[in-house]
Amino acid sequence: MLLIDGSLLEGGGQIVRSAVALSAVTGTPVEVTSVRKKRARPGLAPQHCAAVRAVSLACDARVMGNTPGSDRLSFTPGSIMRRDISVDVGTAGSIPLVLQAWLPVALVKGGSLQVQGGTEVQFSPTIDYFTEVFLPALGPAGAGVEVDVVRRGYYPAGGGVVRVAVEPAGCPRIAARDTGKCGIRSCSSGLPGHVADRQAESARRFILEETGRDYPVSISRYPGPGTGSSCTAWDGAKGSCALGKRGLPAEKVGETAAAGLVAALRDGGDVDLHLSDQLLLYLARGGGSYTAPGFTLHARTMCWLLSLFGLPVEVSENGLVEFRR
């Protein structure tokens, strides 16, 4: 049983999600203690429990402590199987973060997952970042992942639904490079149609003025149980997103997403800061290399966690940060 102190470094849900994913793909039983100990609300939150449940169903694991508020989780994996799974976060908790935990396991044998929760929530990538930035960075393995956004879900109502089908791809070798694909996606639910239009136009105009490039725009308006909006902008393996909120002009939402992308492009490196840690599990297992403009706390946490599983990643810092395996 591998013991993991969940309060170290980033000390959040990333440790739990990544630990159970690594446990499943390596066959290593784990126990995570002091889960989210330093957070305002320590212990597992519903979205972490949903992620653990999705992974456990994909590998027939024995699990103890997977309840909201629990500060200790025991996870003993069985054999990974191709399964069709459905989980409900029960709140507006992040669907993309549940998918991040399940996907490395699903790539082994394939399968499908339907998740109900939040498609765009704070402190999480949007579902559009997942589809347009993260999945393409996995190369051919990402191309074998089909994502159907059935319904958008925003805080606090949640109620978003995403279905994902995966074909087996094993451990993809990571060589995140510019795919040449770029775009802006503006979304809304339960709001007047012009909100998504204004977000998109603001983002498009900002990027055009700053880079001289006119990005293609797509707009999605979904009926849903709540109200909310989001804007995601991407260019290759770099992206940025922003969420709407009451009192915040739609133009500001679009501009924020666009400004984040422009900054990421100017920072250099193959990938943006957020993608740099999201790819590390795949890099450690499949090999490859990529550069990022910095070494974030989330990336440091992933490198530490991977080393516990005997999957060290080489990190070199010389202006840009290079991750290599």
What tens-digit pLDDT sequence spans the chain (325 residues)?
A: 999 999 999 999 999 999 999 999 999 999 999 999 989 899 999 999 999 999 999 999 999 999 999 999 999 999 999 999 999 999 889 999 999 999 999 999 999 999 999 999 998 999 999 999 999 999 888 889 999 999 999 988 889 999 999 999 988 888 766 677 999 999 999 999 899 999 999 999 999 999 999 999 999 987 778 899 999 999 999 999 999 999 999 999 999 999 999 999 999 999 999 999 999 999 999 999 999 999 999 999 999 999 999 999 999 999 999 999 9
pTM score, two decimals?
0.96
C-beta separation of 135 from 145 below 8 A: yes
Which residue reads 């939402």 in tokens? Answer: 253
Q: How far apart are the first and last CA of the chain?
A: 25
**Nearest 5 degrees, angle CA 283-CA 286-CA 292?**
20
Q: Catalytic residue numbers? A: 298
The dotted CATH code for 182-267 is: 3.30.360.20
Query: What pLDDT, on the 0 to 100 scale, is given for residue 140?
Result: 87
What b-and-e string marks burial along 116-138, b requiring 16 or more CB atoms within 10 Å of the CB?
bbbbbbeebbbbbbbbbbbbbbb
The residue ranges of every structural domain in the chain are 2-172, 182-267
Other beta carbons within 10 angstroms of residue 62's beta carbon come to 11
Phi then psi dihedrals of residue 301, to 5 deg: -65, -45
Query: What pLDDT, on the 0 to 100 scale, is given for residue 189?
Result: 92
Query: What pLDDT, on the 0 to 100 scale, is given for residue 223?
Result: 75
Nearest to 221 by CA among 245, 251, 250, 187: 187
- For the chain, helix (H) and strand (E) counts, in that order, are 11, 15
Query: What pLDDT, on the 0 to 100 scale, is given for residue 171?
Result: 83
Q: Is 12 exposed, middle or buried (0-12, 13-18, 19+ CB in 10 A)?
A: buried
Query: What pLDDT, on the 0 to 100 scale, is given for residue 143?
Result: 85
According to CATH, the superfamily of the domain at 2-172 is RNA 3'-terminal phosphate cyclase domain (3.65.10.20)
Phi then psi dihedrals of residue 171, to 5 deg: -105, 100
